[in-house]
Amino acid sequence: MAFENPFEGKEIWFGVGSQDLYGEEALRQVAIHSAEMVDYLNNTGKIPVKLVLKPTLKSSDGVKQFMVEASANPNVIGVITWCHTFSPAKMWIRGLEVLTKPLLQLNTQHHKEIPWETIDMDFMNLNQAAHGDREFGYIVSRLGIKRKVVVGHYTDPEVAEKIGTWARAAAGWDASNNMKVMRWGDNMRNVAVTEGDKTEAERVFGASINTWAVNELVAAYDAVKDDQVKAIIEDYKAKYDIDPALLDAKYDSLFISAKEEAAMVNMMTANGCTAGVDNFEDLGALPQLPGVGPQRFPSEYGWGFSAEGDWKTAVLVRIGAVMGYGLEGGASLMEDYSYNFTPGNELDMGSHMLEVSPAIGTIAKPKLEIHPLGIGGKADPVRLVFTGAPKKDVVVVSMSDVRERFRLLMDVVDVVEPGGSLKELPCARAVWKPRPSLKTAAECWILAGGSHHTCMTTSVGREAWEDFARMAGVELAVIDENTTARQFEKELELSEMVHRLDNRH
Ligand code: MN
């Protein structure tokens, strides 16, 4: 069981708009140029999903057929359109109306520079994306279809990067729509922000969120074979430092924690789940609150995990893991815990009692340790202890259920070195500098009703989550280097209105 490549076998269809007006020779040129461009983009190595060029679209029937096929094909996770020539946009209406996949409008050109000395009317008729893409853009906007617009010559590295980021978001959207979330136990008693409407979540995100009795996990635990446990312990030994206490007197604890990981993995796999959540208040006859196992969900299996019944963050962590596949870093549950208010060095420290994943990157090799846990009344849990590695342009994202919709909230942060050893802290943690500043970021976060639980994503940053939110049609409030509390409060008010008026989602 390993993190399956979420891009494998997936395709993004590239549809080029034209019409019959220009004659066969022009259409032949369009097809040749388009193939050259798609090959170029596929070879940049920046787009993790294969772009597939489809035959040039010249009529309303052709466009509709293309959109119906793209929507029905489970391997197609997005559509890119470009108009080499002028493509009268009424021919796109019927097709766009039935498209269910994410759309990217690429406003590019085959030629990089205007051939100043040779340009004639024939050249201009063939190479007129500046014209055609405006006509196309009008109809997409008129239909109210959300899409990403990328502008630039196809050889411009930024163009491939932006398409690549969008392709990662499309894979996240695909994973979201195929997600099954396994809940062991309900929400932590009396906690508000981790609650939410699971039926609405399936409508909005496509994720199916259901409960399995903790008794079933206990039965799965009892059924685990020793060989599987030993293999997991070998994997621990290969990847982490292990507290000698765990290898000697308390060896049972290590065995138990690896056996709990095996039980969770077996149940997740048997049910086709890609995100899971437990609750320390509801562990039945399990000996420990699972620690190291859930920490390894994002890093080893590519799955989402969150604690205290918070399935919303588990969903985000799965999406973050998929979007960042193959990049340095990853996604994990994080929780705001403690501020450093030293003037000029204001920081936020995040952690959780056990479940933060080393997927986010660590300063040193994570260490497996055993410590008592003050809550839950179970045996001391085994957990990985580490500090998140410094990195710029990291994001923390939360999902709140604000009654009539879900609100995603994101802060762009820089993970930094902690101010000291943290040697007495028996859990995984990360320290970051929020943008624009701790004070403004926290003020805005609290105003927006963001959760204390977040998905920290160190692999992909703000653009991927923005692309994702656009695909999902979900509000995403962003706090970044340009945010002021005054302007942010106004943005929230506007956003509230927009989302009430917009009943397409
Ligand atoms: Mn928590």
Residue 334 CA, ligand 1 centroid: distance in Å: 8
| Residue 346 marked as a ligand binder | no
Residue 467 CA, ligand 1 centroid: distance in Å: 27
Q: Measured between alpha carbons, how far is 390 from 383 in angstroms, rounded to an integer?
A: 21
Query: For a pLDDT cut of 90, what percent of the chain falls above it?
Result: 92
Residue 311 CA, ligand 1 centroid: distance in Å: 12
Residue 351 CA, ligand 1 centroid: distance in Å: 9
Instruction: Point out the least confidently predicted range of 143-152, 313-322, 369-378, 456-465.
Output: 369-378
Q: What average pLDDT score do residues 47-75 get?
A: 97
Task: Give the full edge-to-edge strand order of the sheet including 275-277.
Answer: 208-212, 180-184, 275-277, 304-306
Q: Right CATH number for 11-176 from 2.60.40.1260, 1.20.1050.10, 3.40.50.10940, 3.30.720.110? A: 3.40.50.10940
Predicted confidence at residue 504, as pLDDT, reads 56
Q: Specify the DSSP element, H or E, that contains 416.
A: strand 406-416
| Residue 335 marked as a ligand binder | yes
Residue 426 CA, ligand 1 centroid: distance in Å: 16
Residue 453 CA, ligand 1 centroid: distance in Å: 6
Confidence grade of residue 377 (pLDDT, cut at 50, 70, 90): confident
* pLDDT per residue as tens digits for the range 241-271: 999 888 875 568 999 999 999 999 999 999 9
Closest C-alpha to 272, from 189, 340, 208, 357? 208
Residue 356 CA, ligand 1 centroid: distance in Å: 10
Q: Quick one: 125 exposed, middle or buried, by C-beta within 10 A (0-12, 13-18, 19+)?
A: middle
Q: Measured between alpha carbons, how far is 263 from 244 in angstroms, rounded to an integer?
A: 25
In contact, 62 and 15? CB cutoff 8 Å:
no
Q: What average pLDDT score do residues 364-381 get?
A: 89
Label the pairing between strands 103-107 and 148-151: parallel
Q: What average pLDDT score do residues 454-475 get?
A: 97
376 pLDDT higher than 90? no
486 pLDDT higher than 90? yes
Residue 246 CA, ligand 1 centroid: distance in Å: 26
Q: What average pLDDT score do residues 33-51 get?
A: 98
Residue 431 CA, ligand 1 centroid: distance in Å: 17
Tokens of 435: 């943008």
Q: How many CA atoms lie within 13 A of 208 on its CB side?
A: 7
Residue 150 CA, ligand 1 centroid: distance in Å: 39
DSSP letter at 14 equals E
Tokens of 210: 């259901």
- The reported pTM is 0.97
Residue 352 CA, ligand 1 centroid: distance in Å: 6
Q: Measured between alpha carbons, how far is 167 from 48 in angstroms, rounded to an integer?
A: 7
Residue 44 CA, ligand 1 centroid: distance in Å: 41
436 pLDDT higher than 90? yes
In contact, 156 and 41? CB cutoff 8 Å:
no
Predicted confidence at residue 251, as pLDDT, reads 63
Residue 310 CA, ligand 1 centroid: distance in Å: 8
Label the pairing between strands 406-416 and 391-401: antiparallel
In contact, 214 and 286? CB cutoff 8 Å:
yes
Residue 176 CA, ligand 1 centroid: distance in Å: 23
1 pLDDT higher than 80? no
Predicted confidence at residue 22, as pLDDT, reads 85
Residue 354 CA, ligand 1 centroid: distance in Å: 10
Residue 335 CA, ligand 1 centroid: distance in Å: 6
Predicted confidence at residue 301, as pLDDT, reads 98
Closest C-alpha to 147, from 160, 128, 166? 166
Predicted confidence at residue 32, as pLDDT, reads 96
Mean pLDDT of the chain: 96
Tokens of 403: 């009654």
Residue 317 CA, ligand 1 centroid: distance in Å: 14
Q: What are the start and end residues of each CATH 3.40.50.10940 domain in the chain?
A: 11-176
Confidence grade of residue 503 (pLDDT, cut at 50, 70, 90): low
